[in-house]
Amino acid sequence: MYSGGMSISEIAARAERSYTFVRNNLASSRAILRSKADGTRLHVRIHPEWSRQFIKYQVKDEKRVSNDKILVLAMVITEGYADRTSVGFTNTQSALKDQFRNLIEMVYGGVHLGENKITTRFSSTEISKDLSSNMVHKTFSGPILSQILASRSVTKKVLRIVADTEGSMIISPKRSPRNFSVECRVVLASKNRAFSEQIAAMLANLGVVSHVGKNGVNISSKPQIRKFIETVGFSPGIKVIRKKAGQSTWYGKEKFILTKLCLEVYGRQDQARASGRRGWFEQCSTREETMRYLNTWYNDIVGGE
């Protein structure tokens, strides 16, 4: 059987013996054992379909980069990497890992992705080279950014990925001269100044005014936060996980629900001022009192979903 071209593994399976048992018997019978390369060539001759797994992945030539590939680039730039031989996305949230998998499949077809608790990755020199050719130091290349800005729909989708991966809806008690109040702002975190400028340009493309700082892009005025929530927002199910467990006021809470809480705060403040009061929180003298309101409203929103 071995001289006829069967591999040791095939003989072992047919004889219901271990690989080591078969190999030792062949060696003791003075059979000339084939090298791994010779065995592979012979096996491919007998099983031509097996050769397909040795074909290098070939990226299709595109006159224009697809919108789905732009979304893959957004995920790689925000929380991923493309090195010389592989591409990966680093995030613990199942929804985002699934999104990465689905986008890779839509753009590149059947690619074998491996996964651990944090990273979803695959090896492909060709795909890594293809993605890297559309990025410059973890930013979109000029032509890609122009393509994004030419479409409000693509701009929204790219910014949603930025928000889901690197964004925060910050709602926190703030001390004022006579009482505590609540501050709301949106932060799209990035220490890459060039990428922060690109984020700001995309927001401006949707009419959202923002400010670029050393830690990313900030949206702080009430009208602009409302506009961001209405036009971009956060995906349902994506949680606050950036801070160490227990170190953030809203750790483990949904960003999407926090946007609703922000709008609830605005509504309550407007209601109080319309009735002649300084604001809803005018009687709150401590941070804890203010947080009681916020936690109650958050839980009410979750209960009403």
pLDDT at position 188 over 90: yes
pLDDT at 146 (0 to 100): 96
Q: CATH number of the domain that 219 lies in?
A: 3.10.28.10
Range name among 94-98, 167-171, 195-199, 277-281 with the lowest pLDDT average:
277-281
Residue 143 pLDDT exceeds 70: yes
Count of structural domains, the chain: 3
Do 153 and 300 belong together in one domain? Answer: yes
Query: Is the separation of the CB atoms in 268 and 289 below 8 Å?
Result: no
> DSSP secondary-structure letter at 48?
G
156 and 284 part of one domain: yes
Same domain, 273 and 209: yes
Residues 275 and 155 in one domain: yes
Q: Are residues 265 and 181 in the same domain?
A: yes
Tally: H helices and E strands in the chain: 12, 8
Q: Is residue 142 part of a domain?
A: no
pLDDT score of 124 more than 80: yes
Q: Taking a C-beta distance cutoff of 8 angstroms, is the pair 254, 239 a contact?
A: yes
Structure tokens at 270: 């407007």
pLDDT of residue 213: 93
Residues 7-26 have a mean pLDDT of: 82
Average per-residue pLDDT for the chain:
88
Residue 86 confidence (pLDDT) above 60: yes
Does residue 2 lie within any of the structural domains? no
Give the model's pLDDT for residue 129.
92
Residue 246 has pLDDT above 50, yes or no: no
Q: Given this model, what pLDDT does residue 293 score?
A: 92
Q: What is the pLDDT of residue 41?
A: 73
Residue 264 forms part of a structural domain: yes
- Do 190 and 299 contact (CB within 8 A), yes or no? no
Three-state secondary-structure class, residue 24: helix
Residue 12 pLDDT level (bands cut at 50, 70, 90): confident
* pLDDT for residue 40 is more than 80: no
C-alpha torsion sign, points 100, 105, 108, 114: positive
220 in a domain, yes or no? yes
Residue 245 pLDDT > 50, yes or no? Answer: no
Together in a domain, 216 and 291:
yes
Q: What is the DSSP string of 98-119?
A: HHHHHHHHHHH-S---EE-SSE
d(CA 28, CA 179): 90
| Cβ pair 209, 198 in contact under 8 A | no
Tell me whether residue 82 is in a domain: yes
In a shared domain, residues 274 and 168: yes
Contact 206, 231 (CB under 8 A): yes
The pLDDT assigned to 190 comes to: 93
Confidence of residue 270 (pLDDT cuts 50, 70, 90): very high
Residue 269 and residue 157 share a domain: yes
pLDDT for 305 equals 61
Please determine, for residue 47, whether its predicted confidence score (pLDDT) is greater than 70.
Answer: no
Domain of residue 44 covers 8-54
Whether the per-residue pLDDT at 14 is higher than 60: the answer is: yes
Regarding whether 292 and 152 lie in a shared domain, the answer is yes
Report yes or no on whether pTM surpasses 0.85.
no
Same structural domain, 81 and 229: no
Q: What is the pLDDT of residue 3?
A: 73
Residue 170 tokens, joined: 């910050």
61 domain residue, yes or no:
no
Q: Which residue has the tokens 């960003």?
A: 255
Question: Once rounded to an integer, what is the mean pLDDT over residues 272-283?
Answer: 90
**Cα dihedral: 181, 185, 191, 197 (round 10):** -140
In a domain, 19, yes or no: yes
Q: Encoding tokens for residue 67?
A: 């919108």
124 and 193 both lie in a single domain: no
Q: What percent of the chain has pLDDT over 90?
A: 60
pLDDT of residue 208: 97
